[in-house]
Structure 1
Amino acid sequence: MESHEGFVDLATFDERIAVDLSRSVVSNPSPHFLKVRRGIAERLVVAAHALPAGVRLYVKEGYRPLALQREYFADHLAALRGTLNPLPSDETLYELASHHVAPPEVAAHPTGAAVDLTLISADGIEADMGSIMNATDHESSGACYTHNAFISRAAARNRQVLIDALTGAGFTNYPSEWWHWSFGDRYWAVMQRESHAIYGPVEESMLDEASR
């Protein structure tokens, strides 16, 4: 399903939503990387207003081009193929790759329905969330999992603030990535037992045309 809902740029959408223009933790070169569907942006505003005073959402990535998602997945698949010994079947390899990088046909970022985000204080300090964003299970010793029991109390409190605000606004979290939240994509539909997704993947050329 595809609602054909338009995209908006989170960089200028609402003062309660801060954005990271530095791309310090994302390798997404698209000029549209902070864009999402309008319905997603409006839900983020709802979540932002549920946060404690002086705390804002801090978005690192929104839209990711389909071509880039295909590249990420192919690279991860190739890396697994080059390191696993004995080599599992193609089907198992695909499944293993899917644990860390979503296959392009089901990935949320290319639909404009997902954001990678954290919390930031009024004076520009990012909250301690227990692991850096985009860390793998191996790199973070499991701290990337949203409900990891071995992070500090402060980090656990900060995660709970984020969880409460975003779930209250209807978002669904990907459990192995505390920073990844979506609404209306295929993963959300499965988790919420909806019959279909609201948003489908969009090629970057569509956003190029819309922004001309």
Structure 2
Amino acid sequence: MTILLSDPRVSAVPLHDDGEPLVALPALLHSACPGSAPLVRPGLRDRLLEAAAELPTGVLLHVVEGHRPVADQQRIIAAYSAQLRAARPGIGPDELHHLTSRYVAPLAVAPHVAGAAVDLTLVDTDGTQLDLGCPLDATPEQSRGRCYFAAADISREARVHRTLLARALAGAGLVNYPTEWWHWSFGDRYWALTTGAPHALYGPTEARVAA
């Protein structure tokens, strides 16, 4: 059974933040303009570099987003919650919280806010995204469930690419959020719960970048 970020077991994981400041990802992991590289904790950066080195020639990781400010997380939660309320009149607060967490994490446990998660995909050497079954950031409704990592209704090529992505990232110590094939994290509460770590390494942080 899929564990969602709204599960009380996630928020119950102890947090011992080691205080690592955010760092900018090196250019080989993204194509952002200079000065706007995604920010993550150093432990995550190092594991992404390790994963990138395991990919076959001609296939590259492309990180779209890393650290997310609290205000941005709150806006995404509010916008998606509003979509769900419009589609499901009369939905109760508990069900709304549960369904919202399939796509965006509750603020207290949000891996992006901790600098502990990235949204990424695979590209070729020309920067063209490979087929992974549905667009990155598609909601469960927009993708008809194809955003789930284990979705059955995707092409054989997309399944091969998802398997390739998972092998590299999981091999480097990252964990996937099963409702989003593109979301991978290290050091956050969800990572700790799913790997059996005694505590999370990273909690919410502001954008203080290491020199």
Specify the TM-score bucket, using the shorter chain as the normaliser: 0.7 to 0.9
Aligned: 1:69 with 2:73: yes
Count of residue pairs brought into register by the alignment: 195
Structure 1 contact 33–63 (Cα < 8 Å) conserved: no
Distance 1:195 1:181 in 2: 19
The AA in structure 2 aligned to 1:71 is: R
* Residue in structure 2 matching 1:53, options 28, 50, 57: 57
The AA in structure 2 aligned to 1:41 is: R
User: Which residue does 1:43 correspond to in 2?
Assistant: 47
- The share of aligned pairs that are identical, in percent, is 45
- What do residues 9-64 of structure 1 show as CA deviations (whole Å, max 9, x unaligned)? 11xx263x2x1427xxxxxxxx7660111111100011011100121110100010
User: Which residue does 1:100 correspond to in 2?
Assistant: 103
User: Which residue does 1:201 correspond to in 2?
Assistant: 204
TM-score normalised according to structure 1 size: 0.85
Structure 2 contact 103–180 (Cα < 8 Å) conserved: no
User: Which residue does 1:9 correspond to in 2?
Assistant: 24
* Residue in structure 2 matching 1:136, options 128, 134, 139: 139
- What do residues 67-113 of structure 1 show as CA deviations (whole Å, max 9, x unaligned)? 1112211232333334422x233222222222221111111001111
1:21-32 alignment, distance < 5 Å = 21=32
User: Which residue does 2:148 correspond to in 1?
Assistant: 145
CA, structure 1 residues 89+142, in 2 after alignment: closer, same or farther (shift >3 Å)? closer
1:167-178 alignment, distance < 5 Å = 167-178=170-181
* Residue in structure 1 matching 2:123, options 98, 107, 120: 120
Distance 2:83 2:135 in 1: 22
TM-score normalised according to structure 2 size: 0.85
User: Which residue does 2:112 correspond to in 1?
Assistant: 109
Give unmatched runs, 5+ long, in structure 2: 1-15
User: Which residue does 1:156 correspond to in 2?
Assistant: 159
CA, structure 1 residues 88+4, in 2 after alignment: closer, same or farther (shift >3 Å)? same
Distance 1:172 1:211 in 2: 25
Structure 1 contact 131–144 (Cα < 8 Å) conserved: yes
* Residue in structure 1 matching 2:93, options 70, 90, 102: 90
- SS in structure 1 at match of 2:97: helix
RMSD, aligned α-carbons: 1.9
The AA in structure 1 aligned to 2:18 is: S
- What do residues 132-158 of structure 1 show as CA deviations (whole Å, max 9, x unaligned)? 000111111211111112211111111
* Residue in structure 2 matching 1:80, options 80, 84, 87: 84
